[in-house]
Structures are given as C-alpha cells and as structure tokens.
C-alpha cells in the first residue's frame, strides 16, 4: 500500500497545520480543499486539507493516519482557501482557527449523519434557475444611475453608495442584482447586513423580486440544521443570492459575482472576540481577489470608506433625495434641557409633540440607548452604590424583573430591601433606562399603546420580529427602544422621533464616539417621515450648541465627515494611521501590565510606534484584570511586518497571561 501526506488545518490555538498519512494509490489522492476527520490529541477533529505531499518532516513513527476524507462534499475552492490564508496572515491567527469556525458545526462532527441528511434534502430540491425579476418598482433618476453603475461594473470595482435615509438603497441593490443575474445566469450574489433583526424585511423583498431563485440566509439565529442546509446550497452554487450577517463573508461561494454590504459603517461587521475580523474589510479583499464589484451602502459611511471615496479609491454614488414622492427628511430640533427641565426624562417640548401625534393617530419613537430601569441604585444617606463585585461597573436596576444585573458579567442579584452598608430602606434609582421611561409614559399617557423594544423585552426567539410586526401593523402609538429600533426599519406611520440622552457620547475618551453618535442620530432620525408624512426629530440635550448637533440638524454628513477627517489627520488617527492592540488578561493588574511591558521591549522598530501599556477603561470584568498596549504606524505593510515578527516574539515569552492581538481595533 502506498501513502500520501495530507497537511490539514485544524481549529487549534497552536499554529495549526498538521501532517497525517493517508493510504492511497498514486494519482488517487484526495483533493486540496476537502475535509478530513483525524485524531488530534485525545479528540477527533475535522480539518481542511490545505496541501498534499509525498513526505513529511514528522518522523514516521509519530505520523498518524487520517480517519476519513469527506468525499461526499466537493472540495472548498482555492479561492476560499486563499481568503482563509489572507485572514489568518492579516489578523495573525492560526489558519485552522480562521478556516474552520466559518464552516457549519454539523460539518465538523465525527459522524456524517447530518451531512448526508442535508445533502439528500438538497438533492430533492428543484433548481428553478429563473433569474427573471418580478414586481420591480420604477426607480428615480438617481437610483437608476446608481443601479446601472453597480450592475454594469466590470472587474474589481469598489463603489460607495452614499444615500440619505429613505433614499431607496435597497431598490438600487436589487436592480443591480437583476442586471448581474441577467448577464450571468449562474452568478451568485452575497448581500451582507449588520443585524439579524433587519433580515426578515430584506429577505421578503428579495423573495418577491426573484421568485424563481434559491435564496440562502446565513446568520447566527438559524438552527444548526438550517445553517448546514443553507451553507451547502451556497457551496454547491445553487443558492444564487446569499443574505447574511458578518460570518457569511467566510462562506464558500464558488460563483460569486457581486458583493453588497448594507449599512457598511455598522460596528457589528466587526467580530469582537476570537478572530477579531472586519467582515467589511474581508469583503473588499475578496472582491479584489475575485475581480468583481463590491458596493458599500450607507447614509453615514465609515470615515475609512469615505476617505477612500474622497481619494478616488472607491467610486462614489449618491442618492440625495428620498425615494418616496414628497417624502422629505425630517426637521431636526434641539431641546435645551437646561431651559426646558424634563419630567420623567421628557421635556415639555417632547411631551407636547407626543400629544400631537397621539391626537393625529401617528406613531412616535423614543430612542434611549440604555436598557434596564436605572443604570445604578444608590443610598443617599451613606453613598453606597450598586457596584458589581466582579467588574469595574455598576449593576443595573431591572425593576420589572426585580433584579440588579451586571451587563458585563451577567451577575444577577435580588434588589436589596435596604442599604447593605447602613441599613437605610430608602434606596434610590439614579438615572434612567428604557424601562423607567416606559413606566413614566404609561403614567402620563394611560390611553396610549406603548411598546418597549430592547434586548430584555426580546429575549425569546421570534419576539423581536413579533414586536416589530405590531409596530408595522399600526398597533403601537409610542415605541421606546435602544439601538435595536434605530436601524433599517421602515415604519410607515412614524412621524416623531425623540432622542433622550445622547450627550454622554460627546465627551467619551473613545475617539470614534462622535462618529458613532452622528451615525446613530442620523439613523434614528431617518426612521421618521419615510412615507411622505411631515415629520420631526427632537433631540434633548444640555449642549445644544455642540457642532455635532448642528451637523445633524442640517443633515450634513459631508461637512461633518470632512471636519472629522481633518481632526483625525491632525491627531494622526485612523484612517491616517494603522493600529493594532495587544490585550492582556490576568488575575492581577500588575501581572497583565508586566507582560505588556515585556512585550513592549521584545522587539524594536523604527517604523512602528510602540506605546506604553495602560489599564483598559473597564479594567476588571468577571474578576479578570485587563490592560492593553497600542502599536501604530502610518504604513500598513510596516505594521504588518512588525506584527508578524512580534507575534513570534510574544509566543516565545511563554507567559501564562492570556493575551490577544487585534488588528484595526474599533474600540481603544
């Protein structure tokens, strides 16, 4: 019997490509890109074959045989492997750790029962292969121009679709899709959206427009069985439109011809743990590798993308008008909370506006990005406050649930009857979350139908969708919610948006806070008046003269972005600087800092600035102390070269501190 050597990437924290022996006649070897089952340590694991060799560096006695090759599954393509290799190199993670988690869990099992079942199910599905669009609405001239530019683009073409809220970006995407599909009957199109709760609306839209095509969705709330089926449909090239959240960027799409990224500025495109990748950035790389167009859409593009459009790297397409006839952008007014003192969090001006909407039978939305009843419970006689014992954070009062909850480590306690330090029974909630605003509204407007939508009210699967449906059906007069309600939704009867407490972000240490606040305010303001009803947005603030609010009032993203870019340039911040962040976690802060000091001194560089370690703003989470060290350079290649050498040096430190490296961090 003769053998070949399979080099297999496995999902391990070690630098994970391993050699295995596989019995086969010459010319009958498995293919690169196939999955294989192997023994790894004491467990069985599935990995992907990344190379096939005749010999191995591993001594023959130590070489194990692979257990099985998944022949029923077509190999992952060389292009897919190249994407995984790029991501691994760019984010400085082991190849297997990048490649494997992108695959459905059911593909990574020891048995093939689930795989075989899914393949059988797929084989029974009929291919309709009819890309003829249906029910396509007429576009206005701006939309037409944009759709033609995307649909007609050849080769790698990054396009920034900059369109005000309600300008009908979705229609532009869909008509561009229709053009691509008309030209290439086998084409696959990947549409990325930031949040799962936005997909039902878009999914329904795609199905109506392309009734003859197979659509696959890929997001984290699918069951494992569904995810397997959808992933396979994409892998086989049979699903023609793939609609997904960030993880979908790593799926196998052999006939990919167009990528659409909706709300490209949204921070949820960034994975915040494990492999901290940016799905948007990987998508641009993937489009470049395949030589296909990619469209990035937003009303408030990220400064990175805006900068690329200004410098000509991206082609800019603009939608300045709202798509619905006579729909204009809402009027934005600032309400000075110093003069108009709020009652239960609501100023007189906002209460008056709410009353008007109720009388007119129109809907209102109150936006407060803070869930719970109050951010902290305190004792006024001794100064006790509800700290979390495990985190540098307060425990949030959740009155309806009778709990104090830490939003960082999920510690839960019953609300104390009296002060734990002095016994005072009169404990006071301080500040205001969505639950408290809801309570105040109910007291002031007992006849109104009030609905709160936040992470607490939508814990059950499907409850978020049910809540949004009831708003769409007009069963809600006043909607109160966190950022969950700010994005994407097209509420036809909504004519008033009230923003309750945006000021804190103005003075954040995070240099991206103002970019985010502006995007958030424009997004939430954009929920109003989309169907042509006259509408307004009231922002309650103590800092009414702040230039950020001025820009929001004028709906002036261009000006805001160019001012902010000038500031970033002067302060040498991204997108003029490339950054990476080394984080360390330890039971004691001094240990984490000591490790980072060693890391700082491990490697000298003339092209990269290595800063001093500092504790993270939220130093302790779940009894773990956290510190970080920033490295930066004005050259991306210089930073990358440094990181490659640095990661080797860090591994050689053999510290027991848990550390992780993040390239292009969003939160510093």
Locus of tokens 């199910």: 121
Per-residue tokens: 191: 């549409």
> Given strand 412-414, what is the order of strands in its sheet?
396-398, 403-405, 412-414
> Interhelix angle for 557-570 vs 513-525, to 10°?
170
User: In the structure encoding, which two tokens stand for residue 65, read together?
Assistant: 């045989």
Q: Is 156 in the site for Zn ion (CB under 5 A)?
A: no
Residue in 391, 404, 582, 586 binding Zn ion, rule: CB under 5 A: 391
Q: Nearest approach, Cβ of 545 to Zn ion (angstroms)?
A: 37
Q: x-or-dash pattern for Zn ion, window 210-249, by CB under 5 A?
A: ----------------------------------------
Of 45, 379, 505, 521, the one binding Zn ion (CB under 5 A) is 379
C-beta closer to Zn ion: residue 384 or 543: 384
Q: Which residues contact 113 (CB under 8 A, 6 or more apart)?
A: none
What does the block give as tokens for 648?
A: 């080797």
Asked if 191 is part of the footprint of Zn ion (rule: CB under 5 A), the reply reads: no
Site membership for Zn ion, residue 406 (CB under 5 A) = yes
Do 283 and 98 touch, CB atoms closer than 8 A? Answer: no
565-579 burial, b for 16+ CB within 10 Å, e for fewer?
Answer: beebeeeebbbebbb
Q: Is 605 in the site for Zn ion (CB under 5 A)?
A: no
CA proximity to 110, closest of 65, 44, 66, 42: 44
Closer Cβ to Zn ion, 79 or 424, answer by number: 424
Q: Give whichever of 409 and 544 is closer to Zn ion, judged by the CB atom.
A: 409
The region of 215-223, 403-411, 589-597, 637-645 touching Zn ion under the rule CB under 5 A is 403-411
Q: What's the CA gap between 652 and 645, in Å, rounded?
A: 11
What is the smallest separation between the CB atom of 411 and Zn ion, expressed in angstroms? 5
Distance CA 253, CA 232 (A): 10
Cβ proximity to Zn ion, 299 vs 419, nearer residue: 419
Stretch of 228-236, 372-380, 474-482, 489-497 lying at the interface with Zn ion (CB under 5 A): 372-380
Q: How far is the CB of 378 from Zn ion (least distance, A)?
A: 8
Taking the least distance from each CB to Zn ion, the nearer of 328 and 385 is: 385
SS (H, E, C) 136-180: CCCCCHHHHHHHHHHHCCCCCEEEEEEECCCCCHHHHHHHHHHHH
Query: Phi-psi category of 385—alpha, beta or left, where left has phi over 0 and alpha has psi -120 to 50?
Result: beta
For helices 557-570 and 303-310, give the axis angle rounded to 10 degrees: 90
Kindly tell me which of 156 and 384 has the beta carbon lying closer to Zn ion: 384
Distance CA 418, CA 420 (A): 6
Q: How far is the CB of 380 from Zn ion (least distance, A)?
A: 8
- Residue 555 or 620: which CB sits closer to Zn ion? 620
Tokens of 610: 């290595």
Q: Of 585-604, which residues contact Zn ion (CB under 5 A)?
A: none
Write the burial class of residue 105 (CB in 10 Å: 0-12 exposed, 13-18 middle, 19+ buried). Answer: exposed
- Stretch in the footprint of Zn ion (CB under 5 A) among 161-169, 388-396, 497-505, 518-526: 388-396
Which is closer to Zn ion, CB of 261 or CB of 409? 409
Question: Rounded to an integer, what distance in angstroms lies between the CA atom of residue 653 and that of residue 661?
Answer: 15
Kindly write down the DSSP assignment for every residue of 249-280, as one continuous string.
GGS--TTEEEEEETTTT-GGGB--SSS--BHH
CB of 590 to Zn ion, least distance (A): 21
Q: Which of 315, 390, 403, 472 binds Zn ion (CB under 5 A)?
A: 390
Q: Which is nearer to Zn ion, 106 or 394 (CB)?
A: 394
Tokens of 646: 């640095």
- Please identify, using beta-carbon distances, which residue of 379 and 451 lies nearer to Zn ion: 379
Residue 408 lies near Zn ion (rule: CB under 5 A): yes
407 part of the interface to Zn ion, by CB under 5 A: no
Of 211 and 416, CB closest to Zn ion: 416
Residue 150 and residue 161 in contact, taking contact as beta carbons nearer than 8 Å: yes
410 to 449: interface string for Zn ion, x by CB under 5 A: -x-------x-xx-x-------------------------
Residue (377 or 484) nearer to Zn ion, CB: 377
Q: Which is nearer to Zn ion, 227 or 408 (CB)?
A: 408
Strand partners, 191: 243, 260
Q: Provide the minimum distance between the beta carbon of 482 and Zn ion in the complex, in angstroms, as a whole number.
A: 19
- Check residue 38 and report its DSSP letter: E
Q: How far is the CB of 272 from Zn ion (least distance, A)?
A: 17
Name the one range near Zn ion by CB under 5 A: 282-290, 352-360, 402-410, 599-607.
Answer: 402-410
SS3 287: helix
Sign of the CA dihedral 66, 68, 71, 76?
negative
Instruction: Name the burial class of residue 647, with classes exposed (0-12), middle (13-18) and buried (19+) by CB atoms within 10 angstroms of its CB.
Output: middle
Quote the least distance from Cβ 354 to Zn ion, whole Å. Answer: 35
* Residue 419 beta carbon to Zn ion: minimum distance, rounded to whole angstroms: 3
Cβ 387 to Zn ion shortest distance, Å: 9
Q: Which of 388, 496, 519, 582 binds Zn ion (CB under 5 A)?
A: 388
Nearer to Zn ion, 624 or 638 (CB): 624
> Does 384 engage in binding with Zn ion (CB under 5 A)?
yes
CA distance 420 to 377: 12
CB of 668 to Zn ion, least distance (A): 22
Q: Binding pattern to Zn ion, positions 332-371, x when CB under 5 A?
A: ----------------------------------------
Residue with smaller CB distance to Zn ion, 338 or 426: 426
In this structure, are residues 388 and 412 in contact, taking their beta carbons and an 8 Å threshold?
Answer: no
Residue 349: its H or E element: helix 348-360
User: Judged by CB under 5 A, which of 146, 243, 317, 409 binds Zn ion?
Assistant: 409
- Contact segment (CB under 5 A) with Zn ion among 206-214, 226-234, 408-416, 504-512 equals 408-416
Question: Which of 241/404 has CB closer to Zn ion?
Answer: 404
- Partner residues linked to 23 by β-bridges: 3
Provide the minimum distance between the beta carbon of 423 and Zn ion in the complex, in angstroms, as a whole number: 7
* Burial (Cβ within 10 Å: 0-12, 13-18, ≥19) of residue 161: buried
Q: Which stretch binds Zn ion (CB under 5 A): 242-250, 386-394, 524-532, 556-564?
A: 386-394
Size of the site for Zn ion (CB under 5 A): 14
- Cβ nearer to Zn ion, comparing 404 with 524: 404
HSE-up (13 A, CA, CB side) for residue 623: 2
Closest CA to 334 of 538, 134, 176: 538
Candidate ranges 275-283, 336-344, 384-392, 589-597; the one touching Zn ion (CB under 5 A): 384-392
Which residues contact Zn ion by CB under 5 A?
A: 379, 382, 384, 388, 390-391, 406, 408-409, 411, 419, 421-422, 424
């Amino acid at each position: 019997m003769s053998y070949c050597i399979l080099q297999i990437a496995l999902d391990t924290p070690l630098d994970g490509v391993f050699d295995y022996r596989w019995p086969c006649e010459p010319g009958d070897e498995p293919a690169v890109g196939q999955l294989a089952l192997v023994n790894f340590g004491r467990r069985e694991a599935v990995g992907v074959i990344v190379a096939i060799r005749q010999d191995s560096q591993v001594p023959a006695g130590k070489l194990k045989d692979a257990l099985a090759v998944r022949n029923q599954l077509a190999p992952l393509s060389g292009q897919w492997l190249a994407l995984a290799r790029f991501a691994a190199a760019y984010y400085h993670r082991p190849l297997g750790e990048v490649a494997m988690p992108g695959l459905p869990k059911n593909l990574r099992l020891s048995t093939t029962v689930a795989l075989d079942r899914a393949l059988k199910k797929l084989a029974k599905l009929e291919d309709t292969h009819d890309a003829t669009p249906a029910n396509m609405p007429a576009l206005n001239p701006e939309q037409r121009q944009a759709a033609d530019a995307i649909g007609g683009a050849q080769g790698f073409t990054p396009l920034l679709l900059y369109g005000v809220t309600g300008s009908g970006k979705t229609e532009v995407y869909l008509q561009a899709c229709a053009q691509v599909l008309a030209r290439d009957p086998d084409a696959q199109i990947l549409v990325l959206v930031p949040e799962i709760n936005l997909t039902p609306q878009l999914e329904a839209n795609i199905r109506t427009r392309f009734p003859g095509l197979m659509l696959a969705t890929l997001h984290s709330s699918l069951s494992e069985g569904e995810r397997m089926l959808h992933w396979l449909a994409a892998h086989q090239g049979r699903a023609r439109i793939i609609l997904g959240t960030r993880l979908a960027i790593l799926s196998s799409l052999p006939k990919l011809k167009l990528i659409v990224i909706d709300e490209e500025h949204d921070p949820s495109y960034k994975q915040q743990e494990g492999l901290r990748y940016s799905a948007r950035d990987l998508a641009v790389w993937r489009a470049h590798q395949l030589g296909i167009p990619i469209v990035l859409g937003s009303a408030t593009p990220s400064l990175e993308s805006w900068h690329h459009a200004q410098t000509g790297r991206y082609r800019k397409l603009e939608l300045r008008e709202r798509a619905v006839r006579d729909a204009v952008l809402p009027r934005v007014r600032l309400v000075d909370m110093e003069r108009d003192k709020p009652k239960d969090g609501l100023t007189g001006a906002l209460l008056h506006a709410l009353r008007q909407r109720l009388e007119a039978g129109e809907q209102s939305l109150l936006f407060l990005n803070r869930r719970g009843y109050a951010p902290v419970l305190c004792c006024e006689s001794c100064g006790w406050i509800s700290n979390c014992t495990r985190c540098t954070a307060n425990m949030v009062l959740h009155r309806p649930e009778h709990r104090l909850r830490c939003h960082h480590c999920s510690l839960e306690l019953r609300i104390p009857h009296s002060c734990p330090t002095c016994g005072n029974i009169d404990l006071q909630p301080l500040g205001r979350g969505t639950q408290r605003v809801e309570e105040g509204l109910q007291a002031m407007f007992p006849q109104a139908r009030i609905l709160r939508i936040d992470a607490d009210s939508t814990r059950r699967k499907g409850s978020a969708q049910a809540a949004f449906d009831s708003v769409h059906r007009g069963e809600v007069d006043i909607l109160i919610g966190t950022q969950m309600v700010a994005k994407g939704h097209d509420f036809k009867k909504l004519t008033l948006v009230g923003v309750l407490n945006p000021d804190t972000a103005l003075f954040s240490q995070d240099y991206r806070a103002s970019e985010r606040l502006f995007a958030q305010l424009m997004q939430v303001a954009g929920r109003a008046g989309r169907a042509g009803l006259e509408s307004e947005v009231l922002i309650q603030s103590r800092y009414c003269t702040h230039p950020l609010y001025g820009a929001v009032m004028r709906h002036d993203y261009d000006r805001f972005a160019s001012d902010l870019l000038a500031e970033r340039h002067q302060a040498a911040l991204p997108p003029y600087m490339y950054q990476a962040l080394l984080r360390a976690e330890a039971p004691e802060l001094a240990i984490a800092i000591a490790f980072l000091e060693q890391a700082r001194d491990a490697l000298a560089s003339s092209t990269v600035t290595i800063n001093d370690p500092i504790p993270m703003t939220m130093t302790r989470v779940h009894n773990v102390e956290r510190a970080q060290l920033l490295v930066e350079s004005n050259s991306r290649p210089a930073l990358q070269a440094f990181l490659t050498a640095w990661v080797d040096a860090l591994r050689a430190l053999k510290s027991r501190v848990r550390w992780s490296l993040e390239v292009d961090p969003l939160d510093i």
